[in-house]
Chain A
């Protein structure tokens, strides 16, 4: 109908090279714009906490976080009684640690963990998906059956089992999750590659004697990235929720010195029942906000990459 316009992508496969358009479209949607800003804020907090924690008002390093064992009972946020007093913006939680500091520390851990897992799974998935679709035949069959198998293993329980039999540490957890996370990406990339593979510019590259490796990674891969990026942004949210869940049921070795949002929530859980709501509300809200903004960002990205919506 409106195909006469030059910018309309007839190929159906969104490309990354018109980054500017994508970005513009992303910001046009208020939800995803807010999502993007919040995600950037979180990342900034995490990075600053790593590089120069003083900027966030954190004067202590990780091992000397103020614990107060004589008064382990949570103290309410300071502004509740005196609005101008912001020394303890989120109050304290057991055992007497500043909840604000603990949350900032946990953001860093949560973010880095989920980035590590998603990046790992993403890389493995992309490579396997590319090979699977490009060479087809038995390799494709094998890899797709493998993804079927991995899809049938519930990752939450698998993570528990892995921690149990291999040792409870974030590293092992990350490795196990990477091993079960790649099939999603393999499927996404495979689907995209199958359609891109048939396009004439790939045929042209083939007929001009470019080798397979170069075709795959130079010509096909960039055109399969849009859905991968969308998936990454959804998965980052899922991974943060998953880690929080595992921590909540007491799985990872989180503690007051190496806090994690799920752990903080589960600590606060006991106190919320006796009226100390802030111990439960603030960690949960932090997770909610982070996951929400990542999901919004992912949704916005999907819309921005969708050629049909560019009309």
Chain B
């Protein structure tokens, strides 16, 4: 909650899927924004469009099944949906909807997106069992993303180690041991040209919890590379900006990438990372795989991390560990997070703000405490009532009657009206809009709009 500048802004996003029996209006104009360093929780039942939101932001909606049909997503300075919408359009013919795909635009779009995806914007998927490629080692899968986005950082690391003098290193480690003065450290390397790449290496060693200070000191002094020659290929790669991986990577770079992979794995607290990078996904447990996925997602220090139900497929103890890792990312690295889940407990634990989704609409959005204390929308109230509470010795849990509606033919007006206890005439005809009923607490329901009118 440090910075207040908006990092992601979604306005009136509409995504539709073409299905055999009609157009599935999966997202029906949703809007929200995430500020830098903030964690927004997106909750809702299965099939309400949470994952579709994430995929729309990442531009990963398969062009064979659906498309973003309207709205705007602004991520930092980029408009993420412009070319996507041009590439793939939904056409309503007489009998059935159809997708019109323009290959050239798709290429243009993916070229544009590939610079953003994985680098500034990354995503954790729900199912760790299927997210990792079964036939590639963990190491290969992590280094792949580094080659795509971080060639220049990798070369800087090598060059920094080769150009640092023993004198400079001594200064650095003195400050590290005596009081861990990182601020000075960063200023120091900024002044000395070519030392930028040393920072993450030292930072990593200092942040390690499993070794003593003496060992840290030794490791930092070991960073000095006696071999001062920099291969010309490495020098040439210094300002690499393309997302195309160069065909022939110098072996030095591969070693460096592996080193970074090990650092990343220990960042997500995987024991024995050197062993893990030569293992295949099937040799790891579900929790470990999810950590690897997180490691890949944070490999390039993304500005925004989308976590699509990262804990749903795991058992409870592992869930807590994964949540801790994500909390660390938020608190220590001040990463902005869009956290998607159907688990209200998890949401209350991790997010600053919550958006409640129902059938492709956001129905309520507020700060976490406000939402849990004073839920406004009947759907949110129903959701909260359906959580078991230990203190209350009630025998029965309240459930919301009915199920999520068919999105091919959604109900007219408010999509929640068939299941709502407080349904009124207007709910069946007109769709409510988001209105701010309290400060930073908006809700899309006629119950509250009505009151305001009165």
Contacts and interface: CB of A to CB of B under 8 A. Distances in A.
Interface of A: 1-7, 25, 309-311
B406 A311 contact: no
B406 A4 contact: yes
27 contacts: A1-B17, A1-B26, A1-B51, A1-B52, A2-B17, A2-B19, A2-B24, A2-B26, A2-B47, A2-B407, A3-B46, A4-B47, A4-B48, A4-B359, A4-B403, A4-B405, A4-B406, A4-B407, A5-B19, A5-B24, A5-B406, A5-B407, A5-B408, A6-B406, A309-B20, A311-B19, A311-B65
Contacts of B405: 4
The 8 closest A-B pairs by CB, nearest first: A4-B47, A4-B404, A311-B19, A3-B47, A2-B24, A5-B406, A310-B20, A2-B17
Contacts of A6: 406
A199 to B, nearest CB: 20
Given A2-B24, A5-B24, A311-B65, 6 more contacts: A2-B17, A4-B47, A4-B404, A4-B406, A6-B406, A311-B20
Contacts of A3: 46-47
B21 interface: yes
Contact of B47 (A1, A25, A310, A311): A1
Contact of A25 (B20, B51, B408): B20
Contacts of B52: 1
Contacts of A1: 17, 26, 47, 51-52
A3 B47 CA distance: 6
Contacts of B24: 2, 5
Nearest to B359: A4
Contacts of A25: 20
B26, B47, B48, B65: most-surrounded residue (chain A CB, <10 A): B47
A299 to B, nearest CB: 18
Nearest to B24: A2
Most buried by B among A1, A2, A25, A309: A1
Interface string B308-319: 000000000000
Contacts of A311: 17, 19-20, 65
A5 B406 CA distance: 5
A309 B65 CA distance: 10
A172 B403 CA distance: 60
Interface string B397-434: 00000011111100000000000000000000000000
Nearest to B65: A311
Nearest to A4: B47
Nearest to A309: B20
Nearest to A8: B19
B21 A7 contact: yes
A197 to B, nearest CB: 22
A311 B404 CA distance: 17
A165 B277 CA distance: 60
Nearest to B19: A311
Task: Give the most central of A3, A4, A25, A310: most B CB within 10 Å.
Answer: A4
A213 B20 CA distance: 38
A2 B52 CA distance: 9
Nearest to A21: B20
Contacts of B359: 4
Nearest to A28: B20
A51 to B, nearest CB: 40
B402 to A, nearest CB: 12
B209 to A, nearest CB: 40
Contacts of B406: 4-6
Contacts of B404: 4
Most buried by A among B65, B403, B406: B406
A288 to B, nearest CB: 31
A5 B404 CA distance: 9
A299 B117 CA distance: 37
Contacts of B19: 2, 5, 311
A309 B52 CA distance: 19
B407 to A, nearest CB: 6
B231 to A, nearest CB: 47
A311 B19 CA distance: 5
A86 to B, nearest CB: 40
Contacts of B26: 1-2
Contacts of B65: 311
Nearest to A7: B21
A2 B47 CA distance: 6
A25 B19 CA distance: 12
A1 B15 CA distance: 12
Contacts of B46: 3-4
A301 B390 CA distance: 53
A35 B20 CA distance: 22
A309 B18 CA distance: 11
A309 B19 CA distance: 9
Nearest to A25: B20
Contacts of B47: 1-4
Interface in B46-82: 46-48, 51-52, 65
Contacts of A7: 21
A2 B406 CA distance: 9
Which of B19, B26, B403 is most buried by chain A, counting CB atoms within 10 A of its CB? B19
